[in-house]
């Protein structure tokens, strides 16, 4: 990991560029004046406290919510994300925090939802084979792809949601807390996957509360705080700096706890 | 042989052979995935009771009459399956069928418009009304419960307005239309041939699917099981056709209904549209995020429902040889909705089959027919049909709870 900065290529073409994005829900401004750039072959980690607006930003980019103001450019052309279908069409795939799966459908149907092979005579065999291939790449532990999603564990569902995002060979993939429910091996697979798709030249936006995971794969760490940009960091920024930016103060719960532990250790000696 | 793709997980027990298939079926039923089981059991009970009370019930010609009666409301119930699939409802199908029936009388009999044009106009008007309901829902967020309830009244008014002072228009006896509704029977050779087709299709499609699955290194069903299933289906269908042929035979109108059921079944299970219907019924927001045109799905379902209701009305005009103010009133509405639910389509959305319209309407018409044979009037019929509907909804709710606790969505 130490020589990662050398092996990493310079980021490629500018894929997505946000300027002054704001999003209001009634009186609540969930996002205010957000700027963000995503390049091909780059992993951008989006971090921030609960309620900072990370998921809202992802949903704006996925076409689920429409921005109240601001502009979005995709590969240099201004675009409006009028609907999720429009975002998918551009090549922006998303794993949502709440996964957004249909519990009454089986794994194959969920992975291919909206993208079924052979619309007038569904090709179940080809879809099942492709589903297994995607799932095996993610080291998924899924007993059967013909059971309804309702019978899967939280982590298995998350894997299904990730597999679905890979289906369309997107240009940008957005993962909202993709490893929150995953086991050790599956987390490692997802991080491997993030690096793999980055090396294939995709842009990746990853949201995570786990700083270790973030440092392991991110090229840039973008901090949101109370719906605003609050600094951009490189993975070798100190914990102190990051936590400071996330919580908005050098004197915060995390640093106080660290100090207290240090003091306790000092007294013990 | 290398490990099959879908057999890598040692925790899952896989059904092998015939006993395995039966065990898998029992497991599914226990976890609340009942399918058509309750309605088949219910039907067996109802038929036994009525046959004991009056043996005429099971006579071939009575059953042929039963099938004639099933076809009109059955077509309406088929449309109801579509909207229930989305967790929506259309309460106006009865009035819509009344309007469809009135249009035949007014356009064809009174105005002399060619019959196909009159039928086409009625069905197109139905589709238009359905599009209105869907638009009210999509644009204004109006619950279908409310929009179709107002539609029920408005369409009833339209029906009365169209029929005018006389209130009833007789269809000419001896016309193809009335013969279709009352007399036309499939020739015996044709009904036997048609009865062979499902088994053959099952066998051919099943074999080619199994071969493709093996080629793709997936587990495939046993060919013995497949052959048994096909043979069993064929024998059952041939037996039914034989028994009906002891009377008049299989009505054309019922054949039309079954053809519509089969077409709907294909559309719901084997096409992208059907998959999207289930997805929207299960989780509309997830479907939208997957890029599905959710509004389009609502429009298609409501249009199909109202168009099929209008077609059901056309068929009932043929069946009764008249377009009257009574058409589509009374219990038609509730029977159509009850049939879909009794047949196993969930009121909660996301779960249902086209066959539920077929099975459900046979249950309802059996009750009506059996009670008529016992010379019991409609008061009792309403009470019993109401009770059967309540039982069906209770079974649906219990199965839903059981599915939730067994993780079957
Ligand atoms: N649909 C909505 N309607 C109203 N307010 C909303 C909606 N979605 C989000 N918000 C508000 O926007 C703010 C940002 O929420 P968001 O889900 O983006 O946070 P987040 O950064 O993803 O947090 P977490 O780490 O907990 O996932 C919150 O204050 C939330 O209450
Ligand atoms: Mg979030």
Is A132 close to B283, i.e. CB distance below 8 A?
no
- Identify which of A55, A61, A99, A175 to mutate to test ligand 1's pocket (most ligand atoms within 8 A of the CB): A55
How much is the pLDDT for B165? Answer: 76
Lookup result for tokens 């459908």? A105
* Ligand 1 atom 30: residue of nearest CA: A51
Q: How far is residue B153 CA from its own chain's centroid?
A: 24
B276 touches chain A (CB under 8 A): yes
Cβ(B371)–Cβ(B114) below 8 Å? no
Q: Which atom of ligand 1 is closest in space to residue A53's alpha carbon?
A: 18
Q: Looking at the structure, do residues B178 and B196 belong to the same domain, yes or no?
A: no
Q: Is residue A262 part of a domain?
A: yes
A96 lines ligand 1 (CB under 6 A): no
Lookup result for tokens 């709907």? B264
Residues 345-364 of B with CB under 8 A from A: 350-351
> Ligand 1: distance of its center to the CA of A66 in Å?
14
Residue of B nearest to A95 (CA): B289
Q: Looking at the structure, do residues B353 and B209 belong to the same domain, yes or no?
A: no
Cβ(B130)–Cβ(B302) below 8 Å? yes
Residues on chain A touching B407 (C-beta within 8 angstroms): 148, 150-152
Instruction: Give the whole-number percent of chain A exceeding pLDDT 90.
Output: 68
Instruction: Dump pLDDT digits (tens) for A44-102.
Output: 999 999 999 999 999 999 999 999 999 999 999 999 999 999 999 999 999 999 989 99
How much is the pLDDT for B11? Answer: 63
Q: Looking at the structure, do residues B39 and B146 belong to the same domain, yes or no?
A: yes
A253 lines ligand 1 (CB under 6 A): no
Q: Is residue B29 part of a domain?
A: no
> Ligand 1: distance of its center to the CA of A54 in Å?
8
CATH number of the domain bearing residue A8: 3.40.50.300
Q: Looking at the structure, do residues B271 and B327 belong to the same domain, yes or no?
A: yes
How much is the pLDDT for B402? Answer: 79
How much is the pLDDT for B288? Answer: 96
How much is the pLDDT for B18? Answer: 67
Q: Is residue B192 part of a domain?
A: yes
How much is the pLDDT for A267? Answer: 64
Which residue of B10, B272, B347, B349 is the best one to mutate when testing the A interface, meaning the one whose CB has the most A CBs within 10 A? B272
Residues on chain B touching A83 (C-beta within 8 angstroms): 288, 291
> What are the counts of helices (DSSP H) followed by strands (DSSP E) for chain A?
10, 10
Residues with CB under 5 Å of ion ligand 2 are A 55, 97
Q: pTM of the predicted model, to two decimals?
A: 0.91
Q: Looking at the structure, do residues B233 and B256 belong to the same domain, yes or no?
A: no
Long-range contacts of A59-64 (CB under 8 A, 24+ apart): A59/A96, A60/A21, A60/A23, A60/A31, A61/A16, A61/A18, A61/A87, A61/A92, A61/A94, A61/A174, A61/A205, A62/A87, A62/A92, A62/A94, A62/A96, A62/A174, A62/B289, A63/A87, A63/A88, A63/A92, A64/A96, A64/B288, A64/B289
How much is the pLDDT for A4? Answer: 46
Cα separations in angstroms, B121 against B115, B154, B314, B327: 10, 19, 11, 18
Query: Among A23-32, A201-210, B217-226, B279-288, whose mean pLDDT is lowest?
Result: B217-226
Residue A18 lies in domain: 2-91+170-268
Q: Is residue B375 part of a domain?
A: yes
> What are the counts of helices (DSSP H) followed by strands (DSSP E) for chain B?
16, 2
Q: Looking at the structure, do residues B285 and B312 belong to the same domain, yes or no?
A: yes
How much is the pLDDT for A1? Answer: 40
Q: Is residue B21 part of a domain?
A: no
* Radius of gyration (C-alpha) of chain B in whole angstroms: 22
Q: Is residue B26 part of a domain?
A: no
Q: Is residue B22 part of a domain?
A: no
Which residue of A125, A142, A148 is the best one to mutate when testing the B interface, meaning the one whose CB has the most B CBs within 10 A? A125
Residue B277: Cβ-neighbour burial (10 angstroms; 0-12, 13-18, 19+): buried
The pairing of strands A42-47 and A92-95 is: unpaired
Residue B204 lies in domain: 185-250
Q: Looking at the structure, do residues B174 and B237 belong to the same domain, yes or no?
A: no
Q: Looking at the structure, do residues B149 and B197 belong to the same domain, yes or no?
A: no
Token couple for B315: 């068929």
Total count of residues recorded for chain A: 269
Q: Looking at the structure, do residues B53 and B115 belong to the same domain, yes or no?
A: yes
- Measured CA to CA, the distance from residue A203 to residue A194 in angstroms comes to 10
- Which among B234, B88, B222, B221 is positioned nearest to B151, based on CA atoms? B88
Cβ(A54)–Cβ(A23) below 8 Å? no
- Measured CA to CA, the distance from residue B32 to residue A247 in angstroms comes to 48
Q: Is residue B24 part of a domain?
A: no
Instruction: Dump pLDDT digits (tens) for B245-257.
Output: 999 999 999 999 9
Q: Is residue B15 part of a domain?
A: no
Residue A266 or A98, more confident: A98
Cβ(A204)–Cβ(A173) below 8 Å? yes
Q: Is residue A137 part of a domain?
A: no
Convert B134-164 into a string of H (helix), E (strand) and C (coil). HHHHHHHCCCHHHHHHHHHHHHHHHHHHHHC
- Out of B9, B271, B287, name the one closest to residue A122 (CB): B271
- A228 — pLDDT class (breaks 50, 70, 90): very high
The pairing of strands A77-79 and A69-74 is: antiparallel
- Which among A68, A72, A56, A55 is positioned nearest to A19, based on CA atoms? A72
- Measured CA to CA, the distance from residue B250 to residue A207 in angstroms comes to 63
Please report the sign of the dihedral spanned by the C-alpha atoms of residue B187, residue B191, residue B194, residue B196. negative
Is A120 close to B216, i.e. CB distance below 8 A?
no
Q: Is residue A243 part of a domain?
A: yes
Q: Is residue A54 part of a domain?
A: yes
* Ligand 1 atom 1: residue of nearest CA: A25
Token couple for B55: 């043996």
How much is the pLDDT for B16? Answer: 62
Lookup result for tokens 């649906």? B396
Token couple for B158: 């339209």
**Which strands make up the sheet holding A28-39, listed edge to edge?**
A28-39, A14-25, A69-74, A77-79
Which residue of B14, B27, B291 is the best one to mutate when testing the A interface, meaning the one whose CB has the most A CBs within 10 A? B291
- Which among B308, B302, B313 is positioned nearest to B98, based on CA atoms? B313
Q: Is residue A69 part of a domain?
A: yes
Domain boundary among B194, B223, B250: B250
Instruction: Kindly tell me if the per-residue pLDDT of A269 is higher than 70.
Output: no
Instruction: Dump pLDDT digits (tens) for A110-119.
Output: 999 999 999 9
Q: How far is residue A199 CA from its own chain's centroid?
A: 16
* Ligand 1 atom 12: residue of nearest CA: A30
> Ligand 1: distance of its center to the CA of A211 in Å?
21
The DSSP secondary structure of A12-29, one letter per residue, reads: -SEEEEEEEEEEEETTEE
How much is the pLDDT for A241? Answer: 87
A23 lines ligand 1 (CB under 6 A): no
Q: Looking at the structure, do residues B288 and B236 belong to the same domain, yes or no?
A: no
> Ligand 2: distance of its center to the CA of A207 in Å?
8
**Element holding A34 (H helix, E strand):** strand A28-39
Residue of A nearest to B280 (CA): A102
Coil, strand or helix at B329 = coil
Domain boundary among B228, B250, B272: B250
Maximum Cα interatomic distance, chain B, rounded to a whole number of Å: 79
* Ligand 1 atom 11: residue of nearest CA: A30
Cα separations in angstroms, B22 against A18, B27, B408: 58, 9, 19
Q: Looking at the structure, do residues B218 and B78 belong to the same domain, yes or no?
A: no
pLDDT by position in tens, chain B (length 409): 457 777 776 666 666 666 777 777 787 777 767 777 778 888 999 999 999 999 999 999 999 999 999 999 999 999 999 999 999 999 999 999 999 999 999 999 999 999 999 999 999 999 999 999 999 999 999 999 999 999 999 999 999 999 987 789 999 999 999 999 999 999 999 999 999 999 999 999 999 999 999 999 998 888 888 999 999 999 999 999 999 999 999 999 999 999 999 999 999 999 999 999 999 999 999 999 999 999 999 999 999 999 999 999 999 999 999 999 988 888 899 899 999 998 989 888 999 999 999 999 999 999 999 999 998 877 888 888 888 888 878 887 888 787 777 766 6
Q: Looking at the structure, do residues B111 and B198 belong to the same domain, yes or no?
A: no
- Measured CA to CA, the distance from residue A248 to residue B207 in angstroms comes to 65
Residue A268: Cβ-neighbour burial (10 angstroms; 0-12, 13-18, 19+): exposed
Is B9 close to A143, i.e. CB distance below 8 A?
yes
Instruction: Dump pLDDT digits (tens) for B132-154.
Output: 999 999 999 999 999 999 999 99
Q: Is residue A21 part of a domain?
A: yes
Q: What is the DSSP letter of A172?
A: E
Token couple for B287: 């479907």
Domain boundary among B230, B250, B270: B250
How much is the pLDDT for A2? Answer: 40
Long-range contacts of B319-322 (CB under 8 A, 24+ apart): B319/B68, B319/B69, B319/B71, B319/B72, B319/B181, B319/B182, B319/B253, B320/B181, B321/B170, B321/B171, B321/B173, B321/B178, B321/B181, B321/B182, B322/B105, B322/B168, B322/B169, B322/B170, B322/B171
Bridge partners of A175, per DSSP, are A95, A206
Q: How many domains does chain B have?
A: 2
How much is the pLDDT for B13? Answer: 62
CATH number of the domain bearing residue B261: 1.10.3470
Q: Is residue A102 part of a domain?
A: no
Q: Is residue A231 part of a domain?
A: yes
- Out of A121, A129, A151, name the one closest to residue B218 (CB): A129
- A9 — pLDDT class (breaks 50, 70, 90): low
* Ligand 1 atom 20: residue of nearest CA: A51
Torsion of the alpha carbons at B364, B366, B368 and B370, rounded to the nearest 10? -160
Instruction: Dump pLDDT digits (tens) for A87-110.
Output: 999 999 999 999 899 999 999 999
Is B279 close to A116, i.e. CB distance below 8 A?
no
How much is the pLDDT for B401? Answer: 81
CA atoms within 13 A on the CB side of B34: 26
**Element holding A173 (H helix, E strand):** strand A172-176
Residues on chain A touching B353 (C-beta within 8 angstroms): none
Lookup result for tokens 């240090």? A262
Q: How many domains does chain A have?
A: 1
Which residue of A83, A100, A114, A142 is the best one to mutate when testing the B interface, meaning the one whose CB has the most B CBs within 10 A? A114
- Measured CA to CA, the distance from residue B163 to residue B171 in angstroms comes to 13
B293 touches chain A (CB under 8 A): yes
B214 touches chain A (CB under 8 A): no
């Amino acid at each position: 990991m130490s020589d990662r900065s050398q092996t990493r290529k310079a980021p490629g073409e500018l894929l997505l560029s946000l300027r002054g994005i704001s999003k209001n829900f009634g009186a609540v401004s969930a996002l205010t004046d957000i700027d963000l750039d995503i390049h091909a072959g780059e992993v951008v980690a989006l971090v921030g406290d609960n309620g900072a607006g990370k998921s809202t930003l992802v949903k704006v980019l996925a076409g689920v919510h429409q921005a109240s103001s601001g502009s979005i450019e995709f590969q240099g052309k201004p675009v409006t994300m009028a609907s999720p279908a429009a975002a998918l069409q551009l090549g922006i795939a998303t794993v949502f925090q709440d996964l957004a799966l249909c519990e009454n459908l089986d794994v194959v149907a969920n992975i291919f939802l909206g993208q079924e092979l052979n619309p007038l005579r569904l090709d179940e065999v080809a879809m099942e084979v492709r589903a297994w291939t995607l799932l095996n790449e993610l080291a998924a532990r899924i007993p059967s792809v013909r059971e309804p999603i309702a019978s899967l564990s939280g982590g298995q569902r998350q894997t299904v949601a990730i597999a679905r995002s890979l289906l369309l060979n997107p240009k940008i993939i957005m993962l909202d807390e993709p490893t929150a429910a995953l086991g050790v091996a599956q987390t490692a697979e997802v991080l491997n996957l993030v690096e793999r798709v980055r090396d294939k030249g995709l842009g990746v936006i990853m949201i995570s509360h786990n700083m270790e995971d973030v440092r392991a794969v991110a090229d840039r760490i973008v901090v949101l705080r109370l719906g605003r940009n609050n600094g951009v960091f490189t993975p070798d920024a100190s914990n102190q700096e990051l936590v400071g930016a996330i919580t908005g103060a050098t004197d915060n719960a995390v640093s106080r706890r660290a100090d207290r532990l240090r003091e306790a250790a000092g007294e013990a000696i | 042989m290398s490990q099959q793709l879908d057999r890598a997980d040692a925790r899952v027990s896989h059904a092998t052979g015939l006993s395995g298939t039966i065990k898998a079926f029992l497991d599914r039923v226990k976890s609340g995935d009942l399918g058509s089981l309750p309605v088949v059991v219910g039907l067996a009970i109802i038929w036994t009771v009525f046959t004991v009370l009056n043996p005429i019930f099971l006579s071939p010609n009575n059953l042929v009459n039963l099938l004639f009666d099933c076809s009109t409301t059955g077509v309406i119930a088929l449309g109801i399956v579509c909207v229930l699939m989305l967790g929506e409802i259309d309460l106006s199908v009865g009035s819509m069928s009344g309007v469809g029936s009135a249009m035949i009388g007014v356009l064809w009999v009174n105005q002399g418009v060619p019959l196909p044009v009159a039928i086409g106009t009625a069905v197109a008007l139905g589709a238009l009304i359905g599009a209105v309901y869907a638009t009210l829902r999509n644009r204004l967020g109006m619950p279908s419960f409310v929009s179709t309830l107002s539609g029920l009244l408005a369409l009833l008014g339209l029906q009365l307005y169209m029929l005018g002072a006389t209130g009833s228009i007789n269809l000419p006896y001896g016309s193809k239309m009335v013969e279709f509704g009352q007399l036309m029977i499939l020739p015996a050779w044709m009904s036997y041939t048609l009865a062979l087709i499902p088994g053959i299709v099952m066998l051919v499609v099943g074999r080619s699917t199994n071969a493709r699955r093996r080629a793709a290194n997936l587990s495939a069903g046993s060919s013995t099981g497949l052959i048994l299933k096909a043979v069993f289906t064929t024998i059952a269908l041939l037996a039914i056709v034989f028994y009906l042929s002891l009377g008049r035979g299989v009505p054309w109108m019922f054949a039309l209904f079954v053809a519509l059921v089969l077409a709907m079944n294909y559309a719901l299970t084997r096409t992208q549209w059907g998959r999207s219907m289930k997805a929207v019924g299960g989780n509309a927001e997830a479907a939208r995020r997957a890029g599905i045109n959710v509004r389009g799905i609502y429009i298609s379902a409501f249009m199909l429902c109202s168009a099929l209701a209008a077609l059901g009305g056309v068929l009932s005009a043929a069946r009764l040889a008249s377009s009257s103010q009574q058409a589509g009133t009374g219990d038609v509405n509730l029977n159509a909705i009850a049939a879909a639910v009794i047949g196993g389509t969930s009121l909660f959305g996301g779960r249902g089959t086209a066959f539920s319209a077929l099975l459900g309407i046979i249950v309802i018409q059996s009750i009506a027919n059996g009670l008529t044979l016992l010379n019991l009037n409609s008061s009792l019929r309403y009470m019993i049909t109401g009770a059967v509907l309540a039982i069906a909804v209770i079974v649906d709710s219990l199965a839903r709870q059981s599915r939730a606790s067994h993780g079957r969505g």
